[in-house]
Amino acid sequence: MAFKLLASFVSLLAAIQVANGAATRRVTCATGQTTTNAACCALFPVIDDIQTNLFDGGECGEEVHESLRLTFHDAIGISPKMSATGVFGGGGADGSIAIFEDIETNFHANNGVDEIIDEQRPFIQRHNLTTADFIQLAGAIGVSNCPGAPRLDVFIGRKDATQPAPDLTVPEPFDTVDSILARFSDAGRFSAAEVVALLASHTIAAADHVDPTIPGTPFDSTPELFDTQFFIETQLKGTLFPGTAGNQGEVTSPLHGEIRLQSDFELARDQRTACEWQSFVNNQAKLQSAFKAAFRKMTVLGSNVHDLVDCSDVVPTPPAPASKAHFPAGQFHRDVEQACRNTPFPVLPTDPGPVTSVAPVPPS
Ligand code: HEM
């Protein structure tokens, strides 16, 4: 009832605005904000709530990182190959990871996602959105808090899962490049280049469970910035384990306080992906556009995008980039393990000061 009233109020306020010579129909929502589709008005109160109460007033911190990881672990739960054999292969971005939390969080690759599912649950309960839509919305809004990030697209209208996704749809850091590329290709016909683009997410990321003795250990030296440091630092020679040795899916990293996944190491060096990987170094514009496009494709897995409502204009504009591509202090061009055979590694300055040691991402 309240929703109906709001919708009619919104359509009353519908206005034609002319911008840049093109007519854009916009509606003014009860909250005073405008959007191109009245159905998107319902998102503004949700965004206010998660920015204040989930993301600590608009930070790019741990909950944002975990919410972004969750978008992936929900969406990638789809296998047309498996479905073709008559066995349900999962519904993609259908909320199954939260709806069937008891089942899916027991899958090895989902280790730790229960924390953010439990943090998001009260928000889902107090807003009128599907679980599937909420998970993808939270990821896109969270990323908008990170300096340098693209403004990600948001769609609503996904149907919630009625069955859990099967196990083994989420790639593991100890999987081979062959198997990772095959998994993404099965899930959504992602190309090798799109897989590399999606891994830009690891620029705002840390691991709690790969080496459980050092929770919050980031994958690059700037986990609060959506910058190209991840692509630079994964190309540097690994020399140390930041915590203990012998963890499955971990290889040596170049910096104290930084952890390196075996899968990121291999994708950075495999001949199918190395040049694409290197192409992101010091290329913020490509980082933004390629991640935005691949993320959009990922977030609608399992739905027909034409059945969804595009609410992308509700997403805040992220802060401008706040870093310049560099080698961390103590690292130089000679420390690069050049893997791309076609193009030399870009020339970068080295940060001045004492050898870089990366601080953990604080839990909130
Ligand atoms: C080859 C594919 C991938 C593998 C093997 C992989 C693996 C991992 C692992 C092992 C962690 C650490 C989890 C922990 O110990 O807490 C992690 C963290 C993360 N991953 Fe991935 N990932 C992949 C792709 C992606 C994609 C496509 C996205 C998003 C679009 C993503 C987003 C994240 C984020 C944001 C975190 C950090 C979570 C946090 O800081 O709490 N990953 N990933």
Give the CA diameter of the chain.
66
- Cα–Cα nearest to 71, from 103, 105, 94: 94
pLDDT score at 8: 42
Q: Is 56 annotated as a binding residue?
A: no
Q: Domain 40-169+295-314, what fold?
A: Peroxidase; domain 1 (1.10.520)
Ligand 1 atom closest to Cα of 218? 40
CA dist 75 and 181 (Å) reads 16
- Cα–Cα nearest to 119, from 60, 69, 54: 54
Half-sphere exposure of 357 (CA within 13 A, CB side): 5
CB 183 within 8 A of CB 90: no
- Reduced to 3 states (helix: H, G, I; strand: E, B; else coil), residue 2 is helix
CA dihedral 113→115→118→123, nearest 10 degrees, is -90
Give the distance (Å) from ligand 1 centre to CA of residue 351.
Answer: 27
pLDDT score at 363: 86
* Helix residue spans in the chain (DSSP H): 2-12, 43-53, 62-75, 80-83, 96-99, 101-104, 113-126, 131-143, 177-188, 192-198, 229-233, 262-269, 274-279, 284-299
| 73 flagged as catalytic | yes
Q: Is 96 annotated as a binding residue?
A: yes
pLDDT score at 18: 40
Q: Between β-strands 250-251 and 260-261, what pairing exists: parallel, antiparallel or unpaired?
A: antiparallel
Instruction: Name the token pair of 39.
Output: 């159905």
What's the pTM?
0.95
CA dist 269 and 193 (Å) reads 13
Q: Whose CA is nearest to atom 36 of ligand 1?
A: 205
CA dist 38 and 30 (Å) reads 10
Query: In sequence order, what DSSP letters do the residues of 91-128 get, joined into one string?
Result: -SSSSHHHHTHHHHTTSGGGTTHHHHHHHHHHHHHHSS
Give the distance (Å) from ligand 1 centre to CA of residue 73.
Answer: 9
Ligand 1 atom closest to Cα of 66? 41
CB 281 within 8 A of CB 345: yes
Identified catalytic residue from 73, 127, 209, 306:
73
Q: Between β-strands 260-261 and 15-19, what pairing exists: parallel, antiparallel or unpaired?
A: unpaired
Q: Domain 177-284+324-335, what fold?
A: Peroxidase; domain 2 (1.10.420)
Each of the 364 residues of the chain gets a pLDDT tens digit; together they read 444 444 444 443 444 344 444 456 899 999 999 999 999 999 999 999 999 999 999 999 999 999 999 999 999 999 999 999 999 999 999 999 999 999 999 999 999 999 999 999 999 999 999 999 999 999 999 999 999 999 999 999 999 999 999 999 999 999 999 999 999 999 999 999 999 999 999 999 999 999 999 999 999 999 999 999 999 999 999 999 999 999 999 999 999 999 999 999 999 999 999 999 999 999 999 999 999 999 999 999 999 999 999 999 999 999 999 999 999 999 999 999 999 999 999 999 999 998 989 999 988 7
Domain layout of the chain by residue ranges: 40-169+295-314, 177-284+324-335
CA dist 242 and 361 (Å) reads 14
Q: Is 94 annotated as a binding residue?
A: yes
- 40-169+295-314 shares its CATH topology with 177-284+324-335: no
